[in-house]
């Protein structure tokens, strides 16, 4: 009994979490912020600290029915309301319903004169009144630097900071406290991060003139949490964080097959096309038709009544629609029906992490069955090989987790030592790999299609000539001439030559057949003549035989008659 009671006392209890209402943050933190405890959000100017605090309160009211209080030391209530109107948040309505309280505390450093004792009792009293007024469960304080900006006595600042954090804990509210980053520490005071139960650092990084906001959970007492830096967006619905570094290989797979939109390519893939939820790579040199194959797949997706999300890094939607119209693909009607959604953006507009977060957000909003990225090789403009491969690995994993089929094109530099590789090195991540290439013969360039691999299905190992016509892509069976695979005019010349040779051979065969017929006729005529001679000789012989048989018969009869006459004459003599 004593041991049992000891175990009950020593078993660790999981910390209670308060959902933040910030998309993606709860996944990183394992459920939200520490309930009933303060969380420090620090960062440089413009990184989104105030917005995160406001979103934490508003989502608490809207999604979890937890009223909140926002105490600002920098902006007035009216300024705060105007700042978030563009995000669709009606702060005034929440205030009128007594679900949200905003208290602006004006502090002017020039009005400070440091003398005697200093404490935050007045602030605690004012904050307690605001909390009681709306029965707040959540509190946001923005920002600490203004509150302590007029004090030079570091001992007092440290003491009152501890008191503030302890007071919030005793009050039982879940709080977000914002603070500016210091030069050599997370905050200006250098103490807040030590007395906080959870510390979140927001940063805005600029690399190659491309800005990216990132979030990093520096510490979280009593809870496991993601320790990486996560990019986040500030969009029309607030802050959105996506935990893009959690990659798993336990996603579900489908046995359903979907058409590529090119009948003969389906035949090369066992007659049924790609697996749903698989990843497909189309690589090749410029002008080989990679985007055309992608457009066929997009069109086939829409024809099945499914949605396709087409990410284009090189062409605008109107240009793609116009170009595909020349091969008989009507993508405009697919866009009009809402089944084909284009996202055309230059890679240099954002960093890789920001691109990834935006794609995640768009995919979760659109819920497409197919995602096309054309081309992934352009991502080299915003990252090196390792960064781009990491980006694609996470994107592919995300799509496979949602059983979304992905098709990606990649430009291959023709001067490379081998075309059976990609400059990014992601071929190993792909389930199916198609390679398009040019073959230069007789002063012309012709396209060939190779099916390098297709996991989990029977597939052709034959090379196909790849043609673009007014009716779309045509795959023609490889033509093997005396010197190897022939395409284009060389194929036409060789085919004509072989057709002529075949015609000559046919004529020779026909001539020999006629000679045989003539010989047969001559022989048959000779046979008939011999047969006639035989019949004549047979008739003559039969006549002679008949004559001899008749003479023999007459002779016998004569002998009999003469014998009988002799006997009669003899009897007369007697």
Distance of CA 367 to the CA centre of its chain: 12
Q: Quick one: angle between helices 77-85 and 49-64, nearest 10?
A: 80
Which CATH code is given to the segment(s) 13-241?
3.40.50.300
The reported pLDDT for the residue numbered 299 is 95
Note the pTM of the prediction, 2 decimals: 0.68
Rounded CA separation 79/81 (Å): 5
- Residue bearing tokens 């995640």: 360
Rounded CA separation 229/213 (Å): 10
- Could you state, in order of their start, the residue ranges of all structural domains in the chain? 13-241, 257-477
Strands (E), 329-443: 340-344, 370-374, 405-411, 432-441
| CATH level 2 (architecture), domain 257-477 | 3-Layer(aba) Sandwich (3.40)
Non-local (6+) Cβ contacts of 459 within 8 A are: 268, 269, 270, 451, 453
Tokens of 477: 């069976």
> Are 457 and 275 contacting, i.e. CB atoms less than 8 angstroms apart?
yes
Rounded CA separation 165/169 (Å): 6
- Average pLDDT of adjacent 10-residue blocks, the chain of 574 residues: 44 77 86 91 87 93 94 89 88 92 76 53 87 94 74 68 87 91 58 75 77 85 83 82 61 88 89 91 89 94 95 93 92 94 89 83 92 91 82 88 92 59 69 87 78 88 83 75 60 70 85 88 88 86 86 84 74 55
Domains 13-241 and 257-477 share a fold: yes
Rounded CA separation 561/568 (Å): 11
- Residue bearing tokens 């069109």: 299
Q: What is the DSSP string of 246-264?
A: ---S-------EE--S-HH
- Rg for the chain (alpha carbons), in Å? 47
The reported pLDDT for the residue numbered 188 is 53
Tokens of 362: 């768009």
Give 413-430 as a 3 state SS string: CCCCCCCCCCCCCCHHHC
The reported pLDDT for the residue numbered 174 is 94
């Amino acid at each position: 009994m004593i041991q049992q009671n000891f175990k009950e006392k020593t078993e660790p209890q999981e910390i209670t979490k308060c959902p933040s209402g910030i998309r993606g943050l709860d996944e990183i933190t394992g459920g939200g912020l520490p309930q009933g405890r303060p969380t420090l959000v620090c960062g440089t100017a413009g990184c989104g600290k105030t917005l995160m605090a406001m979103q934490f309160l508003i989502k608490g009211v809207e999604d979890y029915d937890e009223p909140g209080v926002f105490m600002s030391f920098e902006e007035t209530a009216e300024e705060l309301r105007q700042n978030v109107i563009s995000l669709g948040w009606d702060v005034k309505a929440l205030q009128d319903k007594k679900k949200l309280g905003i208290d602006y505390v004006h502090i002017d450093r020039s009005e400070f004169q440091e003398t005697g004792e200093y404490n935050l009792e007045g602030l605690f009293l004012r904050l307690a009144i605001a909390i009681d007024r709306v029965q707040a469960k959540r509190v946001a304080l923005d920002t600490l630097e203004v509150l302590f900006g007029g004090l030079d006595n570091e001992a007092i600042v440290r003491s009152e900071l501890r008191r503030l954090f302890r007071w919030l804990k005793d009050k039982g509210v879940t709080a977000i406290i914002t603070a500016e980053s210091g030069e050599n520490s997370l905050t200006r005071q250098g103490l807040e991060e030590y007395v906080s139960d959870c510390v979140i650092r927001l940063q805005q990084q600029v690399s190659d003139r491309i800005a990216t906001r990132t979030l990093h959970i520096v510490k979280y007492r009593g809870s496991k949490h993601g320790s990486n830096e996560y990019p986040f967006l500030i969009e029309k619905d607030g802050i959105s964080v996506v935990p893009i570094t959690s990659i798993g290989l336990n996603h579900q797979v489908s046995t359903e097959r979907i058409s590529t939109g090119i009948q003969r390519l389906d035949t090369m893939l066992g007659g049924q096309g790609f697996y749903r939820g698989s990843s497909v790579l189309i690589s090749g040199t410029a002008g080989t038709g990679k985007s055309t194959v992608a457009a066929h797949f997009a069109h086939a997706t829409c024809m099945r009544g499914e949605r396709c999300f087409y990410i284009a890094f090189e062409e605008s939607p109107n240009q793609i629609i116009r170009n595909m119209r020349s091969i008989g693909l009507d993508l405009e009607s697919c866009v009009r029906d809402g089944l084909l959604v284009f996202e055309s953006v230059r890679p240099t507009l954002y960093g890789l992490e920001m691109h990834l977060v935006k794609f995640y957000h768009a995919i979760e909003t659109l819920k497409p069955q197919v995602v096309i990225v054309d081309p992934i090789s352009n991502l080299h403009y915003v990252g090196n090989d390792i960064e781009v491969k990491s980006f694609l690995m996470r994107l592919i994993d995300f799509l496979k987790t949602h059983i979304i089929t992905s098709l990606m094109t990649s430009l291959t530099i023709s001067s490379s030592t081998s075309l059976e590789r990609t400059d990014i090195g992601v071929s190993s991540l792909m389930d199916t790999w198609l390679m398009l290439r040019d073959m230069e013969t007789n002063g012309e360039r012709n396209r060939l299609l190779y099916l390098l691999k297709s996991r989990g299905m029977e597939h052709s190992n034959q090379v196909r000539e790849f043609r673009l016509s007014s009716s779309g892509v045509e795959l023609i069976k490889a033509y093997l001439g005396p010197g190897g695979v022939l395409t284009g005019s060389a194929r036409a010349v060789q085919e004509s030559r072989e057709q002529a040779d075949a015609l000559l051979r046919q004529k020779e065969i026909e001539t020999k057949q006629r000679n045989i017929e003539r010989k047969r006729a001559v022989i048959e005529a000779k046979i008939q003549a011999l047969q006639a001679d035989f019949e004549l000789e047979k008739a003559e012989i039969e006549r002679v035989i008949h004559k001899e048989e008749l003479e023999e018969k007459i002779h016998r009869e004569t002998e009999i008659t003469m014998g009988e006459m002799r006997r009669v004459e003899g009897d007369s003599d007697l």
